[in-house]
Structure 1
């Protein structure tokens, strides 16, 4: 081995050690850094029905999913514990606003309207997928093909206003509107697709991939897209200590590779990860 090779290897080792030192979790310092949070569990509002982001592992009777693991690893990194309050997706954010829980962890999209009452810690972009029955019987290839079709939109989700906007565009172009039935949970919306009451479902790309993996003869993706919509956890406006704890923990697990590992584990594209950021 040449002297230059030895030098390069040594330099790489030093850089790796430096990166590791910079990405070190410090759970033992929780009382010093976050005295108002130490010693009591963070109350996490989530849904057990939203794979691969948050769902119940029936064999182990515990919450799992990419959002769940990101939250757990971030909190553990700064020395905080947690407990779960489960409900349907549309009921979760109100529990933050009325003080029943501390944080919503369930693939929540940032919007300026939501940010009027809640603060966000952002870590990924949204990806959407147009889920259709196997064989794509309506020939859906783009948003413009949705005019005159039937679908279900989940209350409070990013997809509902997109569908409403597209329906208005259909009418403006002299075509039939999209018939949209509002559901409270994605699984309820999916049942509409299964029963034939809906022709398509504007789904989250990760969730759509799970559905196809579980039943490849029932569904397919007509098309997908990455949207300039950001996803993160939400805490009540003014809960700065918890927001900062999440920011510290998430930045550490992003730096040490844990965040990317979680995405890969649950079949999500690591390219959806964005720099950790507080958005108010």
Structure 2
């Protein structure tokens, strides 16, 4: 899923939640179906439902906070909220700065989308959201990378001819391609990136991480996490066995 590449290490964290009953859940609100703002102006999507259920099982009160992607880790570290639940894949680089729960969404594919299936994504101009490992992958591929602050801008860059293709989470791209009436098509093979999506937690909040890990384990065990994955992403996506192992459908 979407992966933030950190160019510098963050300062050591001193703020903690002190095990408050209310936990502030930081999300982007701009990456459907993981998270988005609905017509009522509220945070919605797969992660809203997962997060609310995790808080319920952990006996915590969720308070949702919207934050731009490019500053989402720094604002966790500085104490503006207590978790990141924003389609953030678990990576070694991030783990040097923050901690993660176990994943609540299995590792999934990234993909290229262009106006033509004949685009050469290894030498062309490829758009990606800034500070993601999709952007890092493009930069290392030999293609010319153009970065944008939001996922919507990456799609617009392909449509207006500023980029030959966009590289992003396939789950994000599928409905865009389907709704484009042939204007946009997938290019080449899927690219596996990341280690699944987990909640980002400050390194000082080990007890909170433990509570969420326990809640995620219980959702995997009783099948309720699979129900939400299928609800938001459809049949055929990876899900979990009761023991937490991944089922590739």
Q: TM-score, normalized by length of structure 1? A: 0.73
Q: Pick from 118, 122, 132 the counterpart of residue 114 of structure 2.
A: 132
The within-5 A match list for 1:66-215 is 66-121=46-101, 122-123=103-104, 124-133=106-115, 135-136=116-117, 139-140=118-119, 145-167=120-142, 178-215=143-180
Matched residue pairs, number?
A: 223
Looking at structure 1, the residues matched to 170 and 69 of structure 2 have their Cα atoms a distance apart, in angstroms, of: 17
Looking at structure 1, the residues matched to 121 and 111 of structure 2 have their Cα atoms a distance apart, in angstroms, of: 14
Looking at structure 2, the residues matched to 103 and 234 of structure 1 have their Cα atoms a distance apart, in angstroms, of: 5
Q: Pick from 196, 206, 217 the counterpart of residue 230 of structure 1.
A: 196
Who is 2:229 aligned against?
263
Looking at structure 2, the residues matched to 224 and 231 of structure 1 have their Cα atoms a distance apart, in angstroms, of: 18
Between structures 1 and 2, the one with greater helix share: 1
Runs (4 or more) in structure 1 with deviation over 4 Å come to none
Looking at structure 2, the residues matched to 120 and 89 of structure 1 have their Cα atoms a distance apart, in angstroms, of: 17
Deviation at 1:67, TM superposition (A): 2.3
- 1:74-93 C-alpha deviation (Å, 9 max, x unpaired): 11112211112212211211
- 1:135-154 C-alpha deviation (Å, 9 max, x unpaired): 43xx14xxxx3233112222
Q: Highest Rg: 1 or 2? A: 1
Partners of 2:124 and 2:144 within 8 A in 1: yes
Looking at structure 2, the residues matched to 228 and 61 of structure 1 have their Cα atoms a distance apart, in angstroms, of: 31
* Structure 1: runs of 5 or more not aligned: 1-34, 168-177
RMSD over aligned Cα, in angstroms? 2.1
